């Protein structure tokens, strides 16, 4: 079997390869976790959480593959981003909070897919609103994702969105944060308690233990670097 069958011809084979990567990584992390995987949270997650995380990772990889094709980043049909996504997510080391990390990655991939699809459909306001709402949901799971609000600004400039589309995206992004703040205020907390807790989570410094890179991850890191450097070199060579 030629490798081209995986990279260009068969989405099924690419999905199977991604599944093998995810399952192997989760099984390895369950029995022989790396030190960096237990540095923040020494207790392993439940099996059901890992199963759900695996499903979400695969869903995110498929969405990333569709995003790659729909945006025309490749001249030909290519399914290689599907296994590459899983390698980047869990090939080197899994997050101690596997489920929440998988949710963030999947929602982010879905948000980008909806936004780019909306641009192709003459700035569909509904899809832009839903995509921005998903981006606004991410900080509720991982406060550091609040920086992704820059996507709205970059998207508005890059895709020359109309003023109405930008306003819809801003409202969609603010809506989940406003709803969460209102619920906390209704329960008796300060209305700005959510913002304060998110700021503390972002600004808090973690003086974690310096750990070595696992030996098993070194070939994967080298492979990823070769792919990234090769991709940039190809873009410089083929500027069009």
Number of helices and strands in the chain (H, E): 10, 0
Distance of alpha carbon 184 from alpha carbon 132, whole angstroms: 22
Cα distances from 52 to residues 22, 55, 101, in angstroms, run 12, 5, 11
pLDDT (0 to 100) of residue 57? 92
Q: Is 95 helix (H, G, I), strand (E, B) or coil?
A: coil
pLDDT (0 to 100) of residue 56? 92
Cα distances from 232 to residues 11, 82, 84, 109, 224, in angstroms, run 25, 19, 16, 22, 12
Per-residue pLDDT of the chain (240 residues; tens, 9 = 90+): 455 555 566 778 888 888 998 988 888 877 877 777 776 666 667 888 888 989 999 999 998 888 888 777 767 777 888 888 888 888 777 877 788 888 998 999 999 888 888 887 777 888 889 999 999 999 888 888 888 888 888 888 877 888 888 888 999 999 999 998 888 888 878 888 888 888 877 777 554 444 566 666 677 778 778 877 877 777 777 655
pLDDT (0 to 100) of residue 208? 44
Q: How many beta carbons lie within 10 A of that of residue 192, not counting itself? A: 12
pLDDT (0 to 100) of residue 190? 82
Distance of alpha carbon 45 from alpha carbon 98, whole angstroms: 8
Q: How many beta carbons lie within 10 A of that of residue 155, not counting itself? A: 22
């Amino acid at each position: 079997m030629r490798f081209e069958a995986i990279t260009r011809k068969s989405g099924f084979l690419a999905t199977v390869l991604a599944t093998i990567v995810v399952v192997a990584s989760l099984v390895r992390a369950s029995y022989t976790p790396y030190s960096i995987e237990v540095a923040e949270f020494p207790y392993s997650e439940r099996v059901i959480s890992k199963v759900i995380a695996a499903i979400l990772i695969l869903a995110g990889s498929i969405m990333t593959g569709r995003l790659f094709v729909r945006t025309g980043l490749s001249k030909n049909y290519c399914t290689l981003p599907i296994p590459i996504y899983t390698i980047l997510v869990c090939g080197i080391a899994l997050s101690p909070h596997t489920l929440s990390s998988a949710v963030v990655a999947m929602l982010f991939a879905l948000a980008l897919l909806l936004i780019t699809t909306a641009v192709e459909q003459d700035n569909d306001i509904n899809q832009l609103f839903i995509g921005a709402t998903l981006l606004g949901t991410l900080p509720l799971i991982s406060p550091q994702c609040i920086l992704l609000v820059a996507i709205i600004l970059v998207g508005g400039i890059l895709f020359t969105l109309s003023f109405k589309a930008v306003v819809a995206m801003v409202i969609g992004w603010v809506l989940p944060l406003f709803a969460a703040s209102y619920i906390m205020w209704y329960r008796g907390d300060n209305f700005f308690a959510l913002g304060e807790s998110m700021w503390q989570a972002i600004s808090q410094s973690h003086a974690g233990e310096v750990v070595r890179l696992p030996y098993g991850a070194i070939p994967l890191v080298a492979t990823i670097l070769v792919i990234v450097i090769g991709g940039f070199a190809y873009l410089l060579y083929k500027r069009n």
